[in-house]
Chain A
Amino acid sequence: MPFFEDIEVGMRREIGSFTFTAELIKKFASQFDPQRFHLDEEEGKKSLFGGLAASGWHVGSVCMKLMVAAGQRTAKEAAARGEKVAVGGPSPGFRELRWIKPVLAGDTVHFSSEVESLRSSEKRPEWGIVQIRNRGTNQRGELVFSFLGIAFVARRHSSS
């Protein structure tokens, strides 16, 4: 993870791709969101989604999974170059989460992120606050998912 000082508005990052198989969709849904259109192909076809659809919380959780993996890759590369690596902070939340189109069984979603705004934390001077628009696009290039995430990012010179 880069330090707050290294981040600029408009910076874009490819997060990664994930294929939502029927098996994974049903596994997540049976645990957290067992609505019929997330569990059964026929019920999915009859619904507004038009097929077996992943729970929106599954799509969000997968985006998180890929963001963590991307962050770990970046940290490893920075460490290999001998650079100091920042520690990622927790997130206070998000806004404007949109499940724009259904994610159906077999769909591959590619996630990317773009920095929208930066500000300092008044309460925690050692942290900055970054707002990042995360987007998911399917294999047909259709935007299916987006949200404006908020995250604490460590400052390089927190003690000064």
Chain B
Amino acid sequence: MTLRFEDFPPGHYGSFGPRHVTREEMLAFAAEFDPQPMHLDEEAASQTMLKGLSGSGWHLCSIMMRMMFDGFIGRTASLGSPGVNELRWLAPLRPGDDLTLDVEVLEARVSRSRPETGIVTIKNVARNAAGLALCEMVSPLMIARRADAAAGKAG
């Protein structure tokens, strides 16, 4: 069954993962999108503020997107997202990390301009196996409403 706007009431939505992140995929992403020494070279990375090889923040975001897709977006009537209100990289992603993703619905409201669409604002927190938060973001998702609910409100 496809999940719709009505399936995302405010509160804890779910926890997803674990997702194992290999050193090879970290280096491959960094080589293509973020070739800074702190993401590519162990020796150079040890001299930086992050004190050791770390994954690109954009790689972590992209992995979080995939975890959301596998967790629920893949079976949701998703219409995309207009953006990210706030994102914080709190601690470095390290080779071999096993990530979990906690998803909380902060707000769910019907779009003013498109009454058949709901806007669900979620907070995602990615944690490593030790429970340390690596990244948190607050982002609105656009999700189609159930036909009967949308018709009732629009009419």
Contact = CB atoms under 8 A, between A and B. Distances in A.
Contact of A68 (B34, B62, B79): B34
A94 B85 CA distance: 9
A118 interface: no
Interface in A106-160: 124, 127, 147, 152
A53 B81 CA distance: 12
A33 B69 contact: yes
B89 A93 contact: yes
Contacts of B65: 32-33, 55, 57
Interface in A38-62: 47-49, 53, 55-57, 60-62
B36 A68 contact: yes
Contacts of B84: 94, 97, 147
Given A57-B65, A92-B88, A152 B80 contact: no
Nearest to A124: B49
B49 A89 contact: yes
B110 interface: no
Interface string B53-69: 01011110111011001
Given A47-B80, A68-B34, A93 B63 contact: no
Contact of B85 (A61, A89, A95): A95
A31 B66 CA distance: 8
A62 B33 contact: yes
A90 B83 contact: no
A137 B92 CA distance: 31
Contact of A95 (B32, B59, B73, B86): B86
A97 B69 contact: no
A20 interface: no
B34 A96 contact: no
Contacts of A91: 57, 89
Contact of B58 (A57, A87, A127, A152): A57
A55 to B, nearest CB: 7
Interface of B: 29, 32-36, 38, 48-50, 54, 56-59, 61-63, 65-66, 69, 73-74, 78-89, 92, 142
28 contacts: A32-B63, A33-B66, A35-B74, A49-B80, A56-B80, A56-B83, A61-B34, A61-B58, A64-B33, A65-B32, A68-B34, A87-B48, A88-B36, A90-B38, A90-B49, A90-B50, A90-B89, A92-B88, A92-B89, A93-B86, A93-B87, A94-B87, A95-B85, A96-B86, A97-B83, A99-B80, A99-B81, A99-B82
